[in-house]
Amino acid sequence: MSEIGPAEPWTVREIGPPDEDDGALLQGESIFALANGHVGLRGNLEEPHPGGMPGTFLNSLFEERDLTYPEEGYGFPERTQTIVNGPNGKRIALFVDGERFDLRTGEVRRHERVLDLRAGTLTREVEWVSPSGVQVSLRTERLVSFLRPSVAAIRYVVRAEAELRVESDLIVDEELPPPREDDPRASAVLDNPFAPVSHDDDVLVARTRRSGITVAAAVTHTGADGTVTSEPELIRWTSTGRGEIAFEKIIAYRWPASDDVLSDRDTAARDGFDVLAAEQRDYLDDFWAGADVEVDGDPDIQQAVRFGLFHVLQAGAQAGPHPVPAKGLTGNGYDGHTLWDTETYVLRVLTYTHPGCVGPALRWRHCTLDQARDRARELGLGGAAFPWRTISGPECSGYWPAGTAALHVNADIADAVLRYHAATGDDEFMREAGHEILNETAKLWKSVAYFDDEGTAHIAGVTGPDEYTALMDDNIYTNLMAQRNLRAAELDDEALRLADSLSIPYAEGRQVHEQAAGFTRLPEWNFTDDDYPLMMGHHYLNLYRKQVVKQADLVLAMMVRGDAFTDQEKRRNFAYYEARTVRDSSLSAPVQAVLAAELGHLTLAHDYLAESALLDLRGGGESGGDGLHIAACAGAWIALVMGFGGLRDHDGELSFGPRLPPGLHRLAFRLHWRGAALKVTVTRDRVTYEADGDVTLRHEGKEVRVRAGEQLTFAVDPVDDVPAPPSPRPPRSHA
């Protein structure tokens, strides 16, 4: 049985062969996935394994399927989009004296896989004794090139004193295991989504049957002699030898299909694996120079934050413009859709760590603007209504109370535009895309909001980030984000009056803000039920009627619009909603960590940080076949940098209020800000700012200027570790 080894600062190591029965096989495939935002390879073993979930995911390669409803309704989406498993070039079968290499037979003396976060490679080493007693040594290396977006490569070396045969395949339409029927996050599995178009010994071309997307996959092998056979859905290279077979396998993809796939493949094959690996290392050296987070005192968190950043980069790197799916390209969860997580979590991190990813991702949203306008008209609204779930632009969510009604996605996209421009000064992007996104989303709020007789503006019947509280009036998060959107757009005085007049519900009797109007008057939930997630055992009719919070909502509003709340309001609000939040979403813990840190609940913040950062890395196989939680990967950075680093970015102004929990001795992080690289180092008693260009920021509310090449150091006042307020589901202590 495999396990993830002790925390290492720059690698993730799996020791032992994965056991499909305990979920380790599927979880390992997600953890060890490699991607470049364009092509994604799940971390499958090279040899076929019936318990695995083969996954070669090509960004925006999808099939369409019909949505059916027990009762039809106007404006319900008629079809949805599902990511498909593209042509698989990872599969390599090995035979030793005629016996198939299979970890479930013979004796496994050593099995280790290592994900190198600086090299961007996955290495596997195996020592195996066949059932007939032959000792076999196998080493593989794999990468998906950041600099050559269509290219993936494998280096394969097998040694044994025996007759060896390798069958290396490029195959279309591998059968996927059925989804878990009890989990709404699971993807649909489409039966035979591809129709063959053409094939030869170099290239397979196929077309999705309904969406009509053509994909070309080319493969070649160098370093060893072999023979090639092909058929419409398979190219197989076979090599035989005694003692050793060593080769490099290069795969390239193009969709829509084009002859460029051959030049991509041939150029990569001519350069060879070593050149590709050197390019990969150079790319990542540059990334880490501007993005790394150093954590002293908690090796698990140190490993996890780098693991998270690596996967955020793999999800967001752009050959696009492309969407950034909720699972990246590590699995087919959520059908491969992008959601609001992208702008609120993933692009937030990339804006400061690798802003070159963010402009193209937002340009992709701009490319879908006409579809968003059409959707707004269909809903009887003005401006643009971006979808809750999509791959190419249309709304793909059939559950409208937590989909279409979650209009905040439009303000989330607008907020990402404002954040990106503030951090980069990319005026060209604003001229070509940003201003139009801001204006069209602001028009939506103008059409949906209304004034009451007292002149207060309201937004009625919407769902905020908390999916256990649907179709409410004046969700504070939605109203505050719409307010920011309206103020930033270039519309008219009416838009500004509307922004200034939006209702911010407050319960005078309880002295707290209401997540939405009337929330504090709802019946309380009976928290004796600890069968989480609640949505799997309770009907939404019951959840919607009670004071139970799936994920941070008002607390998220206090993080992203902290300028709208006083310190005392934040303290009372946090305690009230902490007692009602069950975190049935991975989006919650990092946000709770940030507010807990701000309010002095430092140990609690550390525990929430650990919950988010370690969810996939040491999460026991939860939803491993679906892929990683990319927003939770981003959440590790958010909890550390915004929580303990105190980063805030209200109104385009960078500010910090750092403090460390008892378990951490030092925190250092790097940011990109308006063309400069800024490094912030926090210890128990001081914080130091240094940059390679002039940076103006606020430290504890006071404006300071960090000049290029200089250091500014300030004393950090000690912060008492305030006891955590009551919670129905406190995080496990990360002692």
* Strand 135-144 with 227-231, pairing: unpaired
Residues 389 and 314 reside in one and the same domain: yes
Radius of gyration of the chain (CA): 26
Indicate whether 724 belongs to any domain: no
- How high is the pLDDT of residue 119? 98
Residues 558 and 692 reside in one and the same domain: yes
pLDDT in tens, 239-278: 999 999 999 999 999 999 999 999 999 999 999 999 999 9
Indicate whether 103 belongs to any domain: yes
Indicate whether 613 belongs to any domain: yes
Helix (H) or strand (E) holding 353: helix 347-353
The answer to whether residue 321 scores a pLDDT higher than 50 is yes
- Give the whole-angstrom CA distance, residue 422 versus residue 485: 14
pLDDT in tens, 440-468: 999 999 999 999 999 999 999 999 999 99
- How high is the pLDDT of residue 182? 53
- Give the whole-angstrom CA distance, residue 262 versus residue 266: 6
Residues 476 and 366 reside in one and the same domain: yes
- pLDDT tier at 733 (50, 70, 90 boundaries)? confident
14 catalytic residue (yes or no): no
pLDDT in tens, 83-124: 999 999 999 999 999 999 999 999 999 999 999 999 999 999
281 DSSP 8-state letter: H
Find out whether 247 and 224 touch, Cβ atoms under 8 Å: yes
- Residue range of the domain that includes 454: 292-715
Report the CATH number at residue 158.
2.70.98.40
- Give the whole-angstrom CA distance, residue 644 versus residue 640: 5
Residues 260 and 296 reside in one and the same domain: no
Residues 45 and 184 reside in one and the same domain: yes
Indicate whether 159 belongs to any domain: yes
- pLDDT tier at 621 (50, 70, 90 boundaries)? very low
**Which residue out of 63, 467, 598, 690 is catalytically annotated?**
467
pLDDT in tens, 477-532: 999 999 999 999 999 999 999 999 999 999 999 999 999 999 999 999 999 867 88
Cis before 256 (ω within 30): yes
The answer to whether residue 1 scores a pLDDT higher than 80 is no
Q: What are phi and psi of 522, to 5 degrees?
A: -70, 155
Domain count across the chain = 2
Q: What are phi and psi of 167, to 5 degrees?
A: -115, 110
Indicate whether 722 belongs to any domain: no
The answer to whether residue 178 scores a pLDDT higher than 80 is no
Report the CATH number at residue 556.
1.50.10.10
Residues 216 and 351 reside in one and the same domain: no
Residues 112 and 245 reside in one and the same domain: yes
State the amino acid at position 720 in one-letter form. D
Residues 128 and 55 reside in one and the same domain: yes
Closest to 659 measured CA to CA, from 574, 721, 734: 721
Residues 335 and 431 reside in one and the same domain: yes
**Would you state the structure tokens that stand for residue 438, as one six-digit string?**
């801001």
Sign of CA dihedral 299, 301, 307, 310: negative
pLDDT in tens, 7-49: 999 999 999 998 776 678 899 999 999 999 999 999 999 998 8
Neighbours of 175 (CB within 10 A): 11
* Dihedral in degrees, nearest 10, Cα atoms 304, 593, 468, 519: -170
Residues 183 and 311 reside in one and the same domain: no
Indicate whether 729 belongs to any domain: no
Residues 495 and 574 reside in one and the same domain: yes
- How high is the pLDDT of residue 2? 80
Low-confidence winner among 39-48, 420-429, 619-628 (lowest mean pLDDT): 619-628
Neighbours of 494 (CB within 10 A): 10
Q: Which residues are CB-contacts of 181 (< 8 A; sequence separation ≥ 6)?
A: none
Indicate whether 571 belongs to any domain: yes
Mean pLDDT of the chain: 95
Find out whether 51 and 2 touch, Cβ atoms under 8 Å: no
Write the CA distances from 462 to 78, 157, 406, 445, integer angstroms: 22, 57, 6, 12
Residues 234 and 328 reside in one and the same domain: no
Q: What percent of the chain shows pLDDT beyond 90?
A: 90
**Would you state the structure tokens that stand for residue 405, as one six-digit string?**
């009604």
- How high is the pLDDT of residue 48? 86
- Give the whole-angstrom CA distance, residue 666 versus residue 658: 11
Report H helices in 449-501.
476-488, 493-501
Write the CA distances from 708 to 237, 369, 675, 676, integer angstroms: 56, 40, 12, 9
Find out whether 520 and 577 touch, Cβ atoms under 8 Å: no
The answer to whether residue 704 scores a pLDDT higher than 60 is yes
- How high is the pLDDT of residue 412? 98
Indicate whether 728 belongs to any domain: no
- The pTM assigned to this predicted structure is 0.97
72 DSSP 8-state letter: -
